[in-house]
Chains A and B, each alone.
Chain A
Amino acid sequence: KNQVEQSPQSLIILEGKNCTLQCNYTVSPFSNLRWYKQDTGRGPVSLTIMTFSENTKSNGRYTATLDADTKQSSLHITASQLSDSASYICVVSVGTGGSYIPTFGRGTSLIVHP
């Protein structure tokens, strides 16, 4: 069964601190992995996408890593800001050929305190 597990479930940090979110997956065949940011009551917004051959991808203060061998990904947030408070969702796309189905993790709820 294709699964995407995220940890921690929730995280509270102080503004300005760094944090790292984890994503482990057991999907096959792997196509790509995305990290999304979802603000409360809003739709998810894509932060990064990585394919099998990519190890790291940055988007401003967000840096995602991918280890395809161990099937692990992380999202590192540098110098956190209050606006980073949101749910961060790891999505692994499964499939080959003509069909690609995204498998969503449950997300990590991040709260940044002043």
Chain B
Amino acid sequence: QKEVEQNSGPLSVPEGAIASLNCTYSDRGSQSFFWYRQYSGKSPELIMFIYSNGDKEDGRFTAQLNKASQYVSLLIRDSQPSDSATYLCAVALITQGGSEKLVFGKGTKLTVNP
């Protein structure tokens, strides 16, 4: 099983709709969870992070974490064409040596149609 898995895309939604992106992870010891956005040809950039179970809202974005079920999701409300990008789920794992390993899923490509 891959350490971090995302629902396969691509995902296409109309402008103004809610886009829902999902991610599961395998290591129950994971403590920190991130959502990055990557535009084509660009570097990933952080849009949300979440550490505790429940919801975290930031503008049109809501991250949801359920540690018991080992999944984290990202909701984008009122989707805009500018939200069209690949969304990467990342999980921080603490190794036995005390280092932090940041592992990414394959990403889900989102297209918002005007």
Q: Decide whether A and B assemble into one complex.
A: no
